[in-house]
Structure 1
Amino acid sequence: MATQLKASLGTLHLWGIAVGLVISGEYFGWSYGWGSAGTLGFLVTALLVATMYTCFIFSFTELTTAIPHAGGPFAYSRRAFGPKGGLIAGLATLIEFVFAPPAIALAIGAYLNVQFPGLDPKHAAVGAYFIFMTLNILGVSIAATFELVVTVLAVAELLVFMGVVAPGFSFSNFALNGWSGASEFSSASIAGIFAAIPFAIWFFLAIEGAAMAAEEAKDPKRTIPRAYISGILTLVFLALGVMIMAGGVGDWRQLAGINDPLPQAMKTVVGDNSTWLHMLVWIGLFGLVASFHGIILGYSRQFFALARAGYLPKGLAKLNRFHTPHRAIIAGGVIGIGAIYSDSMINLQGMTLTAAMITMAVFGAIVMYIMSMLSLFKLRKSEPLLERSFMAPGYPYVPAVALGLALVCLAAMVWFNFTIALVFVGFMAVGFVYFQFTSHHRAAAAEDVLLTGQAV
């Protein structure tokens, strides 16, 4: 049974995956942060989270290039801390990448429902799953090329948005009542800044997923650093630019907590019938599609890597004739479609289904970030001779900043989302129980030098 992925991706493809995984976060979701923190408070939150992600990516790239493995964080933590360390990182990453797609699929469905009121958003979301699972199954080169095209279109549209609304921008509009809906900073402002963390993370969530395409990258020690560094710089610029420009063109309170803040902000400047507006509405769909499609690629590689190492049923590591893990792609899709129809999750802390899935994905991401930075520190000590073509700049301070901010984010997430935190721990516990009863699967798995660090 073939278990080796084919290397066919260059720097541009990897940049497209890294940015495309995230780009939907610039189109929707983040404006909920204004409802918690106000524009100025959320700007503080976004800057803190952007700092965390920038430090994280510059540090994470060292791991990705030294250990170019489809498991990404699972592989780094397994090598640093052994099987149980790999389990924690692997499960957290899987939760992140399995729960983010249904949230995005529902956003795609809701958007299409606006254009076609007779279309059930859930049916549209399921249709999106079938289309993009099929595209991923047909081959990584086709999937990555499609991802690059829609990502470039989505980035271009965000730049167009900023240019079109610029004449109507006023910082006084952005700053008005900018501290949790108040004119002055207070203790409530601090609470709002921390409560808004999930929505700031949504700006950048899943950029690390490009690491799961590392086995499919040409010359990963050279192409991955270029893709990651250019990717995080692209996203920081777009996130801050879009948020500030949208908040300064009118009454930002009208945009807080809605799923289409950019079209509504543009209406304030150009009116309801502008060609620019219609272009934004339609091309904006590419942002959602880019992230949805890219995260399917990411979760499938995580399923694949965990199954190949004996952490999940080995059938999920099977490749088809296109050298893609088709069973892993389908498995994640089945879970995501099930989540779309799991309306009982709406009752989690009074959240909508979409918000609950976003929050669950963020919990997985934060735990994975923490494990990855701990792995970086551990491997620097335990394997000083490991070939590192890219070294984390400012070590140990830069990764320490990423680790410290991730821990702060985790604490805030638990404080403000305790029920979902318990559900997340429950998922992790189920994975641990499965792990305890399946040691024979790992014993039978082929040895992987990138996981163990031992010579084959």
Structure 2
Amino acid sequence: MPATKVTPLRRTLLRQLSNLRGPHVHRHTSFDVWALGITIVIGGQYFSWNAGLAAGTLSYGISVVLMGVAYLCLTLSMSEMTSMLPFAGGAYGLARCTLGYYVGFLMGCCEAIEYIMYVTCSVVQLGRMLTTRWPDLAKWQFGVWFVVYAVACGGLLVGGKLFWRWNAVLALTSIGVLLVYCVGSAGKVDLAANAGGGAHFVIGGAMSLMKYHPLASWFFVGIEALNTMSNEVHNPKVTIPRGQIACMLTLLVTGASVFVVTIGLPPGMPAVATELMPMNVGFVLLFGVSSSSAALFSVPATFATIQGFILAYANIVSALACSKLLPHGLQRSWRNCDAPVFAIAGGSALSFGLCFVDYYIVGLDGILFNVCMLFACIGYTSQCIGYIYLKKQCVSLSRGFHSPFGIPGAVVSMVVWVFTMVSIIGFQDDHENSLIVALAIVAALTLYYHCFAKYRQTFSEDERRVLFPVHVAILNAAPQTHRALRGQSTSERMVMNFNPSLKKLMFVPTTLHLSTIKSATTMQLHGSKLHEDASQPPEAAPAQECRVADRASSRETPPPRMVRAPTELDLHQSIRKT
């Protein structure tokens, strides 16, 4: 009798339950992306933002409007980039190919640290919400945090259709509670009586506005994390831009509604600026419950924010690990679980440890938030610079979506991020502790990069597949003699200075063969000669002539040479020479 092979029960369950990236499990739509964006961001509209009202309703309202415009322009710009280059590494991928390997590494790490710290702040805040309702939990805060991390990470590891349905329930619940609050409380809003009048329009002048301006980001921060989901959803070039833009428009409406309703309810200004949960008053008036019970209405949205940010930093850490910029083991899954288990566990362990530091050190909440926003603004600025550069130099790359604001929108967004960085660095009453912590983290990352990561890094498969057309377009658009460097624009010189390895390669007169591009990526350069000859076999495709931008000489262009796609060996050679 032949032996019967018995599959272990645990492995069978893992195969059935754990498939976060499996395309055969769930057919993703723009609604899924919209719901994920809501779960990531919406918690920030439930708490913490109200502290900025200490600057006055008008002053803080201006900050909220500026942040809304900046995030809208950033979202539109990044949606255009995703429709062209759906890379799951977030700001790291775009910065690495346009600003250089070192800058790209810093951008990726800063973005991951930003999300890890946001999770820490949200978990501690959730613990305080539950303690408000059940005071006995104050002795077991660490247990509450552990349960929150376990449930959030468990949902991500299960993945598949179950995760996306669970995420949709969280999103609809969070939006539903917000709608009940805004619509139900609308009849009780009295701005004239509760908003403080002229005495509370501006409090403390420009100095106060600069101090509290960063807090307005709570309404929208995290919307950019949807760009890290390119490996999670089907057809990310279409699905992510649609869902991300719809989510941003939804957040603009909900944010404005929450702001107006909250300052219009009693007791109003200035008491609302010091509330732990500013929406409690509305729920107390609507349902007649106690303030401690009303705190439970904010729990679903806060938990949803935690789970969404965990997924975001896990994707970034996994992308960095795939390029060997972080320990390569962090990108691995565990047995039949396709989710980046070690990236999720590693990031969550670090965030969990920070919870103890945040809880027991008075005033650390503000420092963590300032460091988060400083790293966020640096990442946003790098994405705007990358967008402007690619918009000008890579016009031939196909885009499924075009930002209606284009380059001016990215410039406006970048101005707001620089303004926010100035407010964090120079106007916080923390004795520059936030800046010191941020610089210490950057110094540690720099030391790690130049001692270890610089000599181990490589191009991941995602980078070869998605970002190779950018390298092609940059090399084809770049001048091919040192003398031509005089005619470069400011943005070109900036990119060349940040990326010396690209500067070294750009002066080699080369032409990329169609077969090279097709072997490296499925994307094609529309509108170019390569795209026109796409139907010809590789050996029959004529080489495209390179134009030499040498104004000082009228000599004929030397015959072009063929160049292959960049490999890991090229990367190491360029690093050693620079």
Q: TM-score, normalised by structure 2?
A: 0.72
Secondary structure of 2:231's aligned partner: helix
CA distance in 2, matches of 1:140, 1:309: 26
Q: Measure how far apart 1:73 and its partner are.
A: 1.1
Note if contact 1:28-1:260 (Cα within 8 Å) is conserved in structure 2.
yes
1:333 aligns with 2:348: yes
Whether the 8 Å CA contact 2:333–2:341 is kept in 1: the answer is: yes
Report the CA distance between 1:312 and its aligned residue: 0.4
Greater RCO, CA 8 A, separation 6+: 1
Amino acid at match of 2:315: R
Give the alignment partner of residue 86 of structure 1, picking from 94, 97, 104. Answer: 104
Alignment deviations for residues 148-167 of structure 1 (CA, whole Å, 9 cap, x no partner): 21111111111100112111
Quick one: which amino acid aligns to residue 105 of structure 1? Answer: V
Who is 1:150 aligned against?
A: 170
Match of 2:426 among 395, 406, 415: 415
Q: How does 1:156-235 map to 2 (within 5 A)?
A: 156-177=176-197, 182-183=199-200, 185=202, 188-235=204-251
- Structure 2 Cα separation of the partners of residues 219 and 444 of structure 1: 23
Structure 2: tracts of 5 or more residues without a match: 1-19, 472-516, 521-578
Alignment pair present for 1:401 and 2:412: yes
Distance in 2 of aligned mates of 1:444 and 1:15: 31
The question of whether the paired residues in 2 share the 8 Å contact of 1:87 and 1:432 is answered with no
Residue 495 of structure 2 is matched in structure 1 by none
* 1:305–1:173 CA distance, 2 compared to 1 (3 A): farther
Q: Provide closer, same or farther for how the CA distance between residues 170 and 184 of structure 1 changes in structure 2, counting only shifts above 3 A.
A: closer
Cα shift at 1:367: 0.9
Q: How does 1:220-369 map to 2 (within 5 A)?
A: 220-252=236-268, 253-267=270-284, 269-270=285-286, 272-273=288-289, 281-320=295-334, 321-343=336-358, 346=361, 351=363, 353-369=364-380
User: Percent of pairs identical after alignment?
Assistant: 23
Q: CA deviation at 1:29?
A: 0.6
Q: State the match for 1:122 in structure 2.
A: 142
* Bigger-Rg structure (1/2): 2
Which residue does the alignment assign to 1:134? 154
2:80 pairs with 1:62? yes
C-alpha separation in 1, matches of 2:152 and 2:162: 11
Shift of 1:41: 1.6
Please say which of residues 20-29 and 438-447 is displaced more in the overlay. 438-447
- Cα RMSD of the aligned pairs, angstroms, is 2.2
Cα separation, 1, equivalents of 2:104 and 2:146: 32
CA contact (8 A) 1:65 1:388 kept: yes
Work out whether residues 84 and 397 of structure 2, in 8 Å CA contact, stay in contact via their aligned partners in 1.
Answer: yes
Q: Give how far 1:175 is off.
A: 3.6
2:402 is aligned to 391
Q: Distance in 1 between matches of 2:365 and 2:288?
A: 28
- 8 Å CA contact 1:64–1:72 kept in 2: the answer is no
Amino acid at match of 1:387: S
**How big is the shift at 1:307?**
0.6
Does residue 1:12 correspond to 2:38, yes or no? no
Number of residue pairs matched by the alignment: 441
Distance 1:397 1:412, change over 3 A: same
Contact 2:64 2:216 (C-alpha < 8 Å) held by counterparts: yes
Deviations 1:78-124 (A, max 9, x none): 12222123113212211211100011111111111122211133321
Distance 1:40 1:56, change over 3 A: same
Of the candidates 436, 441, 444, which is equivalent to residue 456 of structure 2? Answer: 441
2:85–2:466 Cα contact (<8 Å) kept: yes
Structure 2 letter corresponding to 1:128: V
Letter in 1 for 2:142: K
- 1:133 and 1:329 in contact (8 A); partners too: yes
1:303-349 Cα offsets, whole Å, 9 max, x none, are 000110121000011123231100000011111111011159835xx
Counterparts of 2:120 and 2:434, CA distance in 1: 17
Q: Which runs of 5+ in 1 are unaligned?
A: none
Change over 3 Å in CA distance of 1:330–1:223 after alignment to 2: same
- Cα distance change on mapping 1:314 and 1:393 into 2, 3 Å: same
Match of 1:107 among 125, 132, 135: 125
Q: Report how far residue 224 of structure 1 moved.
A: 1.1
Change (3 A) 1:408 1:140: farther
Aligned-partner Cα distance in 1 for 2:267–2:129: 23
CA gap 1:327/1:204 in 2 versus in 1, 3 angstroms: same
Secondary structure at the aligned position of 2:279 is classed as helix
What letter corresponds to residue 291 of structure 1 in structure 2? T
CA distance in 2, matches of 1:206, 1:158: 18
Corresponding residue SS for 2:414: helix
> For residues 62 and 271 of structure 1, what CA distance do their matches in structure 2 show?
44
Rounded Cα–Cα distance in structure 2 between residues aligned with 1:56 and 1:124: 35
Residue 19 of structure 1 and its aligned partner are, at CA, apart by 1.5
Give the aligned partner of residue 537 of structure 2: none
Deviations 1:350-372 (A, max 9, x none): x2x33332222212211111010
Give the distance between the partners of 1:215 and 1:91, measured in 2 at CA: 19
Query: Which amino acid in 1 is paired with 2:272?
Result: L
User: Residue 484 of structure 2 corresponds to which residue in structure 1?
Assistant: none
Contact 1:100 1:358 in 2 (8 A): yes
Is 2:133–2:292's contact at 8 Å kept on the other side of the alignment? Answer: no
